[in-house]
Structures are given as C-alpha cells and as structure tokens.
C-alpha cells in the first residue's frame, strides 16, 4: 500500500483513511431475487430449506436482501438462478438508469454480469442488451451467469469496446469501467495515484465511446466502485463541459445513506454510511 497516496486522496475528498480501511473490510453482503424465475413470496418460502438469514432492503421495490448469515453461493437458490449475490451499491446504477421494457441497452464492461442480469430482469427479458467484455476469462463468467439466471435478451460480444465503431442506436448505456477500487475490500492495499491516473485515461475513453453509442435523449449511467475525485466528479465535470451532456438529478432521499457527490455531481455511497461498497454514480442525458 502507498500510504502517502492514500492519505492524499482521502484528504482531498474529506474522509478519514482509517475509517475507510476499517469499513470496507466489514461491508454487508446482499442478494437480489431473480424475478424472472421466482417471486418474493416464493423466495421467502424457499429460505427455510437453506441456512441463510436475510433482512429485506425496504427502500427498494425490487426484492433485495442483506445477508445476515450464510453464503448464498453455496445454496440451491444460487445454483438454479433464483438469486444473484451482488453488493447493494452495485445494484443502484441500474435502478437509477431504469431501463424500460423493449428498450435497447449497451453494457460496455459487462462481466461478470451483475448489472447486465439486473437490466434483463427490469426489462422482463424483452428488448435487447449488448454485453461487451474484453477479458476472455471474465466473459466466461458473464456467459455462465446469463445462462444460470435465464436471460434471453442478452447478446455477448468478446471485444474491446474502444475498438468498436460507435453508432447511436442505444436507448441506454452502462459505463462501469475498471477503477482503483478504493470503495471495496482490500482496494486500499493496491491503491496508488500513478495507477489511478492510468485508469482515468481508460475511463475517459470508455465514457466517450459509450456516449457515441447513445441515441439523442438517451441516458447513460457512469459508475465506479472507488471514491477518488479524479475518477468520478472531476472526470464527469470535464466530460459534461466537452460534450454538452445534461446531468440528471438523482434523489438521494430514495437511497437512505447516500449523499450528493462533490460539487453536486452525481451521488456518493460511503461504506460506513450506506453499509455497502463505496461507489460513485452519475446519470447523463444526451440532449437532441
């Protein structure tokens, strides 16, 4: 760990580095019910055949649960695609995007499929989702999860998104690029400002590519599981100035424990406040 770099970025965003380290190592685990396979009542009835203990996340309409005891991945609920283990923070970008039925969605860095499968659920297996992933091993995990969850409206593309010729044909785009992972367990151990700067270049490139794929009046959600200013608000602010994108307001009152992003851009999920991974989320609209 580069302690000096960690202290500097924490000071920049106004958080305590020790509090960050302690909180990301005690993050609650969550799961969501795959409503394409079973409903919430059926899930709760099936729980009796597992050793899981869960608590409903009541501020979401979708059946999402905090895992209090047990490992969902070791249960038949996981095997048969009835549930997907995913951090609560990771679910929010899709709930904020709100893809409609029969819409066309592009997920640029799709593997292992957490956001892709949630999109398919909300779209009720209608429309079309193009899931792009460059890494072969991660692509295998993506395909496996799509099969397990019964997603029928997803086409996977093993490709570097930056090498695709963009055409504005999508209603919605998800850009969840590689980041410094400062909001997740052990991310602080590998953090360095040098690596962060390199990642920021890739994030800008992917965000620009995603924007070119978006139809006029379409929406793009940008999210990272890191808390740095450079990879989040600063990047979005520069992008908005360059592209003339409109920033959609995200109502933090709908997500208790969330807070407005720095400079009022997007929202931040701080681990010890939101009780899940550290995240940044911004919703952009292409006016036209």
Residues 101, 103, 106, 110: what is their CA dihedral angle, to the nearest 10 degrees?
Answer: 10
d(CA 247, CA 187): 28
d(CA 142, CA 128): 16
d(CA 248, CA 103): 19
Q: Could you list the active site residues?
A: 225
Residue 219, strand partner residues: 172, 285
User: Rounded to 5 degrees, what angle do the CA atoms 162, 234, 257 make?
Assistant: 105
DSSP H helices in the chain: 3-13, 17-24, 40-46, 76-79, 88-97, 114-122, 136-149, 193-213, 233-243, 271-274
d(CA 113, CA 133): 10
Residue pair 182/227 in contact (Cβ under 8 Å)? The answer is yes
């Amino acid at each position: 760990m580069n302690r000096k770099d960690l202290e500097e970025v924490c000071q920049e965003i106004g958080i305590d580095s020790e509090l960050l380290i302690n909180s990301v190592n005690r993050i609650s685990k969550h799961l969501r019910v795959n409503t394409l396979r079973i409903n919430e009542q059926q899930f709760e009835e099936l729980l009796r055949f597992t050793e899981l203990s869960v608590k409903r996340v009541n501020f979401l309409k979708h059946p999402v649960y905090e895992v209090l005891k047990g490992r969902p991945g070791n249960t038949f609920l996981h095997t048969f695609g009835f549930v997907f283990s995913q951090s609560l923070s990771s679910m929010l970008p899709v709930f904020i995007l709100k893809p409609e039925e029969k819409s066309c969605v592009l997920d640029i860095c799709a593997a292992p499929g957490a956001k892709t499968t949630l999109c398919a659920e909300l779209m009720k297996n209608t429309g079309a989702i193009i899931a792009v992933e460059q890494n072969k091993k991660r692509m295998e995990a993506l395909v496996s999860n799509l099969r397990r969850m019964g997603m029928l409206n997803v086409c996977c593309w093993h490709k570097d998104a930056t090498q695709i010729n963009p055409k504005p044909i999508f209603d919605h785009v998800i850009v969840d690029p590689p980041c410094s992972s400062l909001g997740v367990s052990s991310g602080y151990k590998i953090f360095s400002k040098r690596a962060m700067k390199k990642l920021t270049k890739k994030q800008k490139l992917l965000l620009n590519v995603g924007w070119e794929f978006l139809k006029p009046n379409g929406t793009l959600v940008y999210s990272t599981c890191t808390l740095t200013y450079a990879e989040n608000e600063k990047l979005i602010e520069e992008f908005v100035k360059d592209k003339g994108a409109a920033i959609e307001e995200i109502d933090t009152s709908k997500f208790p424990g969330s807070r407005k992003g720095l400079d009022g851009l997007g929202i931040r999920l701080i681990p010890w406040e939101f009780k899940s991974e550290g995240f940044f989320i911004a919703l952009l609209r292409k006016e036209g």
